[in-house]
């Protein structure tokens, strides 16, 4: 039986070797799929430079309303999948599995009306720790991002789910 819980969360991403740091605190919905599998759904504001551009005169005349990005995490002690979707020009999906190479895929919408371009990178999951029972309370994921033979940095993703 699918159960869900509304919880405050803090999601952060820090680079170990680059000047990259991002954090968001918001409310999320935690869905329990079975004993060890969970889905977490949260919204966060879009990045300031990624606001969708107006496409019609009606869009320009209407007051600006904040837009949100939708993050969906599929969590288990063995694997994490994170998908981000927004109405703007960027979407991504990461697959992390402890001790293996996964895929990080980004979709970028160009200025033309011909659809999306895809960028595919590899990630190597150095560690994946999920703590908390019966509901998860903390997820810590350390990974490397690769393009062919070039390492693009080491990162730590931390998700704290408050009771």
pLDDT given for residue 43 in this prediction: 84
Place 79 in a pLDDT band, splitting at 50, 70 and 90.
very high
* Domains of the chain, each with CATH number or no CATH: 3-46+67-161 (2.40.128.20)
Give 69's pLDDT tier (boundaries 50, 70, 90): confident
pLDDT at 45: 63
Predicted confidence (pLDDT) per residue in 15-68, tens digit = 999 999 999 999 999 999 989 999 999 987 665 554 555 555 555 555 555 567
Query: Percentage of residues in the chain with pLDDT exceeding 90?
Result: 63
Over the stretch 104-115, which tens digit does the pLDDT of each residue have?
999 887 665 566
Q: Kindly tell me the number of DSSP H helices and DSSP E strands found in the chain.
A: 1, 10
Residues near 40 by beta carbon (within 8 Å), at least 6 away in sequence: 9, 28, 29, 30, 31, 71, 72, 73, 75, 159, 161
Mean local confidence (pLDDT), 74-85: 94
The CA distance from 145 to 9, in Å, is: 25
Residue 116 predicted with pLDDT over 90: no
CA dist., res. 19 & res. 149, Å (int): 22
- Residue 1 has a pLDDT of 47
Record the tokens describing residue 53, joined without a space: 């551009």
The alpha-helical segments, DSSP class H, found in 41-118 are: 57-61
What are the pLDDT digits (tens) for 128-148?
999 999 999 999 999 999 999
15-24, 67-76, 114-123: least confidently modelled range = 114-123
């Amino acid at each position: 039986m699918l159960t869900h819980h509304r919880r405050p969360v803090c999601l952060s991403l820090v680079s170990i070797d680059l000047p990259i740091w991002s954090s968001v605190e918001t409310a999320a919905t935690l869905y329990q799929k079975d004993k060890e599998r969970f889905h977490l759904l949260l919204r966060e504001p879009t990045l300031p430079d990624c606001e969708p551009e107006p496409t019609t005169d009606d869009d320009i005349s209407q007051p600006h309303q904040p837009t949100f990005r939708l993050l969906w995490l599929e969590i288990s002690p063995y694997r994490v999948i994170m998908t981000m979707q927004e109405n703007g020009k960027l979407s991504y999906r990461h697959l992390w599995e402890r001790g293996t190479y996964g895929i990080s895929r980004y979709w970028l919408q160009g200025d033309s009306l011909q659809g999306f371009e895809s960028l595919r990178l590899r990630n190597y999951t150095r560690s994946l720790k999920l703590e908390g029972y019966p509901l998860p309370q903390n997820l810590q994921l350390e990974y490397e991002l690769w393009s062919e033979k070039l390492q693009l940095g080491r990162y730590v993703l931390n998700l704290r789910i408050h009771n």
